[in-house]
Each structure stands twice: as C-alpha cells, then as structure tokens.
Structure 1
C-alpha cells in the first residue's frame, strides 16, 4: 500500500488545562499535562483540533457555574494553543438566556462552534426539549455549527426534523442499529453531518457504508481525544482500502474546512 500525506483536522476533541477537566481514564498512567495535547496530536499526523472542554461536577452537574467554568477553561486553552485549537462553547437548555449571552461573547471573539455538547455530564438528556430548541434557533440565526454527543434516537429525530437548517454534527456512528438510524436521519438533511469519533468505525465496512449512504461530503474525522486514542482513528481512515484518496481527503480535512467556511470562519 502506498500512503500519501493528508491534512488531518480532528473535529472532535476535549482539550484540558490544569483544572481537573482531563477526561482520559488512564491519564495517571500517561502523566498527561496540557503541554502534551499538541504533541500528542501532531505525532498522530493531526495539524489542528476542535472541540469543547468538559468540566464535571458530580454534586451539581446541571449548575450554571459548571458551564461557565467549562467555558473559562476553554478560553484559557484557546490562549495557550492558539490557532492549533478551534474552540467549542458549552451551553445548557436550562439556562437559555445565559447561554445566549455566552454565545454572543464567544461569537464576538471569533468562535463559531458550539460543543461538542455532552448532556449526561451536565444533568440533561432531551435534545428535543424546548430550551434546546430555542438555543438551536439562536445558533441558526448566528450561522454557527453545533456538535452533539449522540444519545436518544427518537429525541434526535425530532430535533433534526425541527431544525433542518441548523448546521449540526452528530458524534459517534455507534453500533449497527445506531449507525442505521444516523443514516436514515441524515440522508434527507444536507445541513447535518456525522463525525467518526468514539464508538463505531472499528466495525469492518462501516465507514464505507456511511460514505455510500450519507455522502462523502458529510462525514467528518474525529477521535474524541483524550477519551479515545487518536492514532487508532487516523489509522481507521488512512488504512481503509475501501476509501479512495479523494474520500480520505474530504473526511480528514476537506469537509470540516468547508463546513466552517460556510459558517464564516476559515480554519
């Protein structure tokens, strides 16, 4: 097999600072610090990362303070990593007006990505709830991208049907049944995308099926670092003989660059 160099942008990461937001289960075994982030990713061939910071509080997971602290950490990491990092904002449907204010501040600073949102870490679960629908409407007005952790198939269906014009990226293909629901959901929604992070692409033939069914222009590379190993996801696309060079170029970087350009940001 002859390998070529590809530009690789990891759309789905959760960078961390020194405030306890490193969600890698084996971080103690690796001695991970924020200084490891860029080197880890560049060693995997990744030239840029995107994503939110996950600050968890098991006592009050749905508090506004947890969301604010997640975003405060994001801004600090953005300052630290510079152009290597395309930041994602945390919001919460329980706090619609406060979330809109956070969106406005983030947008004014040049941010165009909301999420990845991970509801179960912040005490909510329903993507079809009224509060989140209002926030999706606002994101659509601002022409922003919204990245979500896939959960609740019926709720995601209702959200997708209600917000066809919102630029939504669904994370994690999942197992067979989840992947087929993604395919059914996304086929008729040209503004909705799927990122390859997390569970799923270790299943032989799944990436090929996603490209065939959803389209080569709406599959985006992601790893879910530091929860997941970025080397494995790079290899899962790079060494897949069923994918053409053109498809790999689009998955690795072309599609996400085009998506951000449509949101008014060059990355």
Structure 2
C-alpha cells in the first residue's frame, strides 16, 4: 500500500522525502494502527532554517502507541501520540497542557480517520469558555498579571529601576496567558508569538500593538504597563459580557483603590 500525503508546499524536496520515508516505515510497522501524521515545529509553520529538523507526530492506535517512544535524530524527531492522548486535552498547569500548542496550525499530512485528527488538533489548540475561565480566574493568570504590573509600578514610584524592570518582565508571561485565553486559544511558545499574531491575528490585539507593548514592558517602560492595563480591562469587560458573567471584571475591581497606580502616573 502506498500512502497519499498532503505535504505543505513550503516543504523542501529533501524534507518531503524524509516524511514520506517515515510514513512508509510506520505503515510497515503498524499497518492499520497508523492513523495519521502531523507536521509540527518550524517546518510545519513555514519557519524552518537550514538548522531546523522535522517534528512529526505519529498518531497511532492506543495499542500501537504503547510500544513506542520518541525517536530523535539530526533530521527528524518522531513523536508517537496515541489517539486517546490526542482526544484528551490536558488541563492548565499539567504536563499535557504544555504540549497543546504543538497542535496549533500544524498541518496534517496524513489522516486515516476521516477528519477526526484535524478536529482533535483544533480542540487541543483552543479553549472552551470554561477552560478560558479557569486560566483567567481559577489559575489566577489575570490576578497574577495585575500583581506583577502593580509591583513594577510601585518600584518605579519608589525610584527602584532594576526592581521595576524585573517585575515588568515577569508580568509578560501572565499577560500573554490572559490575552490568548480571552481569545479562546492556548498561548503559543515564545518562538512563535510574533508569527501567530501576524498570521492568525487576534482582532483586539493587532500584532504590532501587542508586540510593541511587550517589548516596552520588557524594557521597564511603566507607561506601556499602564497602556496595557487599559486594554486588558476593556478586553475583560467584553469577555465577561460574552460569557454572561462578571468574574474577570469583579477580580479587577477587587483591587480597589490600588488600581489608581495602574491608571494614572503619580504626580
């Protein structure tokens, strides 16, 4: 049997040959237990360089997957993934959570399930409304971002530039979790942040706007922190309205008078 692969047009001929050989090898080893192949990493997203290898998820039936471990080489990382694992997105903070963005925008080069792999990848890379609530509220990513932003502004007020910059920088991962959770997405790995914002925009956060705020925040620019707070608060209001609750706006309001430091530069 010869497999028909749907290879991305940006893939080099050499990489196409590597994927084809991997597919045939897995077909020979697993037969009907081979369910599909997913090309992740830089190659899957058109960002490969001459130093990039291929990251290929080999989707297998549960019995076949139990016999496999990840195989690394200089050319290909071959990562077995059982159908059960693919169909069960991990919760925030668990080991499986950190694998979820690998599924985002990753081309399926072989799907022998009639489309179920595509659906499962989309589910891995997106958040249900309940998951978004959990990231924002139950796991304190919104409150945590406000906390670091507030600490940075306090240090700036008190004339501590190093501490300002440290807390501003530490606020950024929390901010990105908030932005992507509100958008219903898993936050991308840092390497792919600019790529995702530009190729799959978030309407409320144009790429140049968000990346500019992040860059300025990393530099300890407290005006950027305040500008970001204004936008986050507006985004939370819209998010709560769409969800039919007030959980994020209530959390922000819970900061009370301390919000004044986030809203206005001290005179």
With normalisation by structure 2, the TM-score equals 0.30
Whose relative contact order is higher, 1 or 2, with alpha carbons under 8 Å and at least 6 apart? 1
Normalized per residue, the structure richer in helix is 2
- The structure with more radius of gyration: 2
